[in-house]
């Protein structure tokens, strides 16, 4: 299956999340049947990220967005199986601190953008400034409504600097979210993740959906596309995202850099050192 074509939001298209099945699982009928494909994509990502790090001429930014319990942390754990921590950075966007709030809304995103050779994963992102601020009326419409164009310009600038951008919206149903909350309550190892907002924010579900639909529609571009990932099945979510990431990195035509030293000279020195040690 071509997950890129199936799940991408084509630039200029208007989306309706209600028309997208969050339980969609493609050709695989179960996690067990999907495991060989999932493992294959992990191997691909590992190989390609090694080339990206070695070449240090391009970078990759992965943006994860979704409502509470959509699985952002789970995706990060999955990707860590196929990414060397030496070349991977994860940044979580929480409520802005005093320093961040003193700058423009894109400042903290720009300071965390990937350097050459890096993969950077945003757990939430600069999109919070057209989502939560809109839903909770934290800034006037006249302010947040102008931010879509600023975001597009920001991402275009990153792309011009050889950064590939992939943006994933993790699409779950309200019932699935509630079931995941219940599992957190029942699991002592996950109760620490529970917060008051988990339940209080549910009443804003329609407003969040509307905000996401507008944000995705207005900011899915050729160089920074959005993908809507059906995420009721965690295994399909991980499979689809790793496929798209591996395919994108493959398309970057990554290759090992040429040696920066004279290999023949190093070989001579090596053999000389071996002889001297006998």
Q: Please compute the mean of the pLDDT values over residues 114-134 and round it to a whole number.
A: 98
Q: Which of 100-104, 145-149, 192-196 has the lowest mean pLDDT?
A: 192-196
Q: Mean pLDDT for the chain?
A: 95
The residue segments making up the domain with residue 146 are: 3-277
What average pLDDT does the segment 135-143 reach? 97
Among 205, 11, 170, 148, residue whose Cα is nearest residue 78: 170
Distance CA 261, CA 180 (A): 54
Angle of the 72-80 helix axis to the 234-251 helix axis, nearest 10: 50
Query: CA 55 to CA 205: how far, in whole Å?
Result: 43
Is 42 strand, coil or helix? helix
Q: What average pLDDT score do residues 166-172 get?
A: 98
**pLDDT surpassing 90 at residue 211:** yes
pLDDT band at 259 (very low <50, low <70, confident <90, very high): confident
Q: What is the mean pLDDT of residues 207-218?
A: 98
Listed in sequence order, the residues at least 6 apart from 21 whose beta carbon sits closer than 8 Å to its beta carbon are 230
CA–CA gap between residue 169 and residue 173 (Å, rounded): 13
Phi, psi values for residue 94, rounded to 5°: -105, -170
The predicted structure's pLDDT at residue 193: 77
**DSSP state, 258?**
P
Domain of 148, CATH number, reads 3.40.50.300
Strand partners, 119: 60, 88
Does residue 148 surpass a pLDDT of 80?
yes
- In whole angstroms, give the CA distance from residue 200 to residue 218: 28
Calpha distance 241→231 (Å, rounded):
10
pLDDT at 269: 82
Is this structure's pTM higher than 0.85? yes
What share of the chain has pLDDT > 90, as a percent?
A: 85
Q: Look at residues 3, 11, 5, 65 and name the one whose alpha carbon lies nearest to residue 224.
A: 11
205 DSSP 8-state letter: H
What number is the average pLDDT over the span 84-110?
96
Q: What is the mean pLDDT of residues 151-176?
A: 98
What does the block give as tokens for 230? 């059906």
Number of domains in the chain: 1
Q: How far is CA 141 from CA 14, 138, 205, in A?
A: 20, 9, 19
Residue 274, pLDDT > 90, answer: no
pLDDT of residue 252: 97
Beta strands in 107-248 (DSSP E): 119-123, 163-171, 226-230
* Separation between Cα atoms, residue 40 and residue 236, nearest integer Å: 14
CB-CB contact of 184 with 248 (8 Å):
no
pLDDT band at 189 (very low <50, low <70, confident <90, very high): confident
């Amino acid at each position: 299956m071509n997950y890129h074509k199936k799940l991408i939001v084509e630039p200029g298209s208007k989306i309706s999340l209600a028309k997208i099945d969050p339980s969609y699982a493609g050709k695989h009928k179960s996690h067990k049947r999907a495991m060989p494909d999932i493992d294959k994509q992990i191997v691909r990502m590992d190989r390609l990220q090694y080339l990206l790090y070695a070449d240090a001429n391009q970078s990759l930014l992965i943006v994860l967005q979704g409502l509470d319990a959509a699985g952002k942390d789970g995706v990060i754990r999955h990707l860590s199986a196929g990414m060397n921590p030496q070349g991977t950075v994860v940044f979580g966007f929480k409520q802005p601190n005093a320093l961040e709030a003193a700058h423009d809304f894109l400042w903290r995103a720009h300071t965390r953008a990937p350097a050459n050779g890096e993969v950077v994963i945003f757990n939430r992102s600069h999109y919070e400034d057209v989502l939560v601020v809109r839903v909770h009326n934290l800034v006037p419409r006249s302010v947040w409504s102008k931010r879509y164009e600023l975001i597009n310009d920001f991402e275009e600038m990153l792309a011009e600097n050889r950064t590939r951008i992939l943006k994933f919206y993790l699409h779950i149903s309200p019932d699935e979210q509630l079931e995941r909350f219940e599992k957190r309550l029942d699991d002592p190892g996950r109760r620490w993740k529970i917060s008051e907002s988990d339940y209080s924010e549910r009443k804003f579900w329609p407003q969040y959906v509307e905000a996401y639909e507008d944000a995705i529609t207005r900011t899915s571009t050729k160089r920074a596309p959005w993908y809507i990932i059906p995420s009721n099945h965690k295994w399909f979510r991980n499979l689809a995202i790793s496929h798209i990431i591996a395919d994108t990195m493959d398309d970057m035509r990554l290759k090992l850099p040429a040696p920066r030293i004279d290999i023949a000279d190093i070989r001579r020195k090596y053999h000389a050192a071996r002889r001297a040690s006998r």
